[in-house]
A and B are shown apart, each in its own frame.
Chain A
Amino acid sequence: MAAIVNFDIYSEHSQLRRPLAWSLGLHLTFATFVVLYAVFIPGFGRNSWGTGGTGDAMGATLVSAVPLPANPTETTNVLATESKGLAKSEPTVQEKEPEAIPIPDKNTKTKLKPAPIKSATQRKPQPEPSESNQIPYGEGGPVSGPYTMTAGGAKGGFGFTGSGGDFGSQFGWYVQAVQRKVTENWLKYEVDPRIAEAKRVYVTFDIARDGHPSNVEIEQSSGVPSLDQSAVRALRRIDTFGPLPPDYSGSKVSVEFWFDYKR
Chain B
Amino acid sequence: MIAVIMLLLLAAASSAQDWIRTGTGLGVERVRLAASDFKPSTPDANNVNLLKTFNDTLWNDLDNAGIFDLVSKSFYPLQVPGQPSEVNFSAWNSPPPNTSMLAFGNLGAAAGKVTVQGWLYDVKNEKSPQVLGKQYTDNATTDAVRVIAHRFADEIIFRLGGGVPGIAESKIYFVSERTGHKEIWMMDYDGANQQQITHLGSISLSPRISPDGSRLAFSSIDKGGWEIMMYSFDLNRMVSFPRFGGMNLSPSWSPEGKIAFSSSRNSYPNIFVVDASGGNLKRLTTGQGPDVSPTWNRKTGSQIAFVSGRTGLPQIYTMEADGTNLQRVTDQGYAVSPNWSPNGQFLTFSWERKYGPGEPGSNDLYLMDIASKQWVQLTHDAGRNDFPCWSPDGRHIVFQSHRSGSDQIWTMLADGTNVKQLTFKGGNTQPNWSWK
Using a CB–CB cutoff of 8 Å, the interface residues on chain A facing chain B are 70-75, 77-80, 143-149, 152-170, 172-173, 175-184, 186-187, 189, 200, 206, 211, 237, 239-243, 245, 247-248, 250-260
Contact = CB atoms under 8 A, between A and B. Distances in A.
A162 B414 contact: no
Given A70-B327, A155-B25, A173-B160, A75 B20 contact: no
Size class of the contact patch on chain B? 35 or more
B161 A173 contact: no
Contacts of B377: 77
A178 B20 contact: yes
A255 B22 contact: yes
Contacts of A206: 17
B376 A177 contact: no
Nearest to B329: A70
Given A162-B19, A162-B20, A74 B163 contact: no
Nearest to A248: B18
B329 A183 contact: no
B22 A74 contact: no
Contacts of A243: 163
A257 B376 contact: no
Interface string B242-258: 00000000000000000
B329 A177 contact: no
B374 interface: yes
Contacts, number: 187
Contacts of B332: 74
Interface string B110-153: 00000000000010110110110000000000000000000000
30 contacts: A71-B373, A143-B415, A145-B417, A147-B415, A152-B25, A153-B25, A154-B25, A155-B26, A157-B26, A165-B17, A165-B18, A168-B18, A170-B127, A172-B125, A173-B31, A175-B20, A177-B162, A178-B162, A179-B23, A187-B372, A189-B374, A200-B23, A206-B17, A240-B163, A242-B163, A242-B164, A253-B18, A257-B23, A260-B24, A260-B25
B21 interface: yes
B367 interface: yes
B162 A242 contact: yes
What is the predominant secondary structure among interface residues of chain B facing chain A? Answer: loop
B253 to A, nearest CB: 20
B414 A145 contact: yes
B17 A173 contact: no
Contacts of A71: 331, 373
B346 interface: yes
B20 A167 contact: yes
B395 interface: yes
Nearest to B367: A146
What is the predominant secondary structure among interface residues of chain A facing chain B? Answer: loop
Given A211-B163, A242-B162, A164 B17 contact: yes
B26 A158 contact: yes
Contacts of B75: none
Nearest to A258: B23
B18 A77 contact: no
Contacts of B21: 160-163, 168, 255-257
Interface of B: 16-28, 31, 100-101, 122, 124-125, 127-128, 130-131, 158-164, 327-329, 331-332, 343, 345-346, 367, 369, 372-378, 394-395, 413-417
A239 B344 CA distance: 12
Contact of B24 (A77, A182, A237, A242): A182
Nearest to B345: A237
Contact of A251 (B16, B394, B417): B16
A169 B24 CA distance: 19
B196 to A, nearest CB: 33
A186 B26 CA distance: 14
Instruction: Among B16, B26, B395, find the residue whose CB has the most chain A CB atoms closer than 10 A.
Output: B26
A164 B19 contact: yes
A247 B394 CA distance: 29
Contacts of A258: 22-24
Contacts of B375: 75, 77
A159 B28 CA distance: 13
Contacts of B127: 169-170
Contacts of B415: 143-148
A80 B415 CA distance: 12
Given A77-B375, A178-B22, 12 more contacts: A70-B328, A79-B376, A80-B376, A145-B414, A153-B25, A158-B26, A161-B21, A181-B162, A245-B131, A248-B18, A252-B16, A257-B21
B255 to A, nearest CB: 13
A172 B25 contact: no
A103 to B, nearest CB: 41
A239 B25 CA distance: 22
B126 to A, nearest CB: 11
B390 to A, nearest CB: 10
Nearest to B14: A164
Contacts of B416: 146
Nearest to A202: B23
Contacts of A173: 31, 100-101, 122, 125, 131, 159-160
A73 B376 contact: no
Nearest to B396: A147
A74 B331 contact: yes
Nearest to A242: B163
Nearest to B159: A242
B122 A177 contact: no
A177 B161 contact: yes
B360 to A, nearest CB: 17
Contacts of A77: 374-377
